[in-house]
Structures are given as structure tokens and as C-alpha cells.
Structure 1
Amino acid sequence: MADLELYELEGCPYCAKVIEKLDELDLNYESHMVPRSHDERTEVQEVSGQTGVPVLVDPENDVDGMPESDDIVEYLENTYA
């Protein structure tokens, strides 16, 4: 099964879109909740180079920090559907 990681923020509609796709595809993932303040999001910045969420990491397919919910959903569909 996939060894995915998702950097997300509670209440984020873009994150919810990605989580919905992960659930639809029955993919296991590790959730990393980020702080509300962009200034405190050092962990996600180290992974993706930016502070926005969601960010997906898929080490199995050399995805180190994919931002943008639409891109993530498309990637999940193309890779795991």
C-alpha cells in the first residue's frame, strides 16, 4: 500500500478535497497538521519550498513535496486509481 504523507491544516477546503480523493481511492497516508500561521510552517516549507497546504509526499514515486490540491488529486488519480 502507498506510503503517502499529507501536510494539511484543519478546516482547509483544499486539504479536504485531497483527503476525499485519498479516502475514495482507499489510500493510507500519514497526516501532518501544520500551524495556522504561515510563519510557523517550517516543516512544510522544508519539504515543499513554500508554506501553503496541502502538500503531498510520495517517496515511493519520488514525489518530495507536491503542492496544489488540483495537481495532487490528478496525481493520485493517475497513479493509484
Structure 2
Amino acid sequence: MSDTPSITLYRLQACPYCERVVRKLQDYDVEYESRFVEAMHADRNVVKRISGKRTVPAIVDENTGVTMSESANIVAYLDRVYGEEAA
């Protein structure tokens, strides 16, 4: 893998949905960079700019050009692109 993370993960501290995505990234040994965002939903302008929503988790995958939010969607994407389904 490259020294530069290809995925940026926008997340909150102690968010169970965010941790679900982190576990999946770690399971597949995918390099990523965490960006912790504001706890107040209304203050998550950075997330809104990149994904169109203020919800977390959200990812930007530089390898594929994909930006998405919602943990279930992200986990399914990671399975498809980096996991067993990719093999």
C-alpha cells in the first residue's frame, strides 16, 4: 500500500456507526485518514461540502473518485471494492 492514505473518513469520536466503518477499513488493511468533525450536526459544513449531507460517517476514496455517507452503504462499498467480493 501507498504511504499516502487514499481514503479520508469523516467521523465523530465514539460514534458506533463510524467505528463500524473503521473496523471494516482495518479488516481490509486499507490506509485511511480520519478527520474528526463537529459534534453539532448544524456545524458540519465540511461534511456537507464533500457529501451533500451533514451525517457521518462519510468517506472520500481517492482511488475510485467515490464520495459517500451512511455506514451501511460505506461498508457494502468497502466489501465490494476492497474485500472478499473484490477478489
So what's the TM-score if we normalise by structure 2?
Answer: 0.87
The alpha-carbon deviation at position 39 of structure 1 amounts to 1.6
Partner of 2:81: 79
Inter-partner Cα distance in structure 2 for 1:26 and 1:9 = 21
Residue identity matched to 1:49: G
Which of 16-25 and 1-10 deviates more? 1-10
Residue 58 (structure 1) aligned with residue 71 (structure 2):
no
So what's the TM-score if we normalise by structure 1?
Answer: 0.93
The alpha-carbon deviation at position 23 of structure 1 amounts to 0.5
Give the paired residue count: 80
Could you list the runs of 5+ residues in structure 1 that have no partner in the other structure? Answer: none
**Percent pairwise identity:** 43
Indicate the RMSD between aligned Cα atoms, in angstroms: 1.0
Residue 44 (structure 1) aligned with residue 47 (structure 2):
yes
Could you list the runs of 5+ residues in structure 2 that have no partner in the other structure? Answer: none
Which has the larger Rg? 2
The alpha-carbon deviation at position 40 of structure 1 amounts to 1.2
SS in 2 for 1:5: strand
Q: Hey, which bits of structure 1, 4+ residues long, moved more than 4 A?
A: none
Structure with higher RCO (Cα < 8 A, 6+ apart): 1
Inter-partner Cα distance in structure 2 for 1:68 and 1:39 = 17
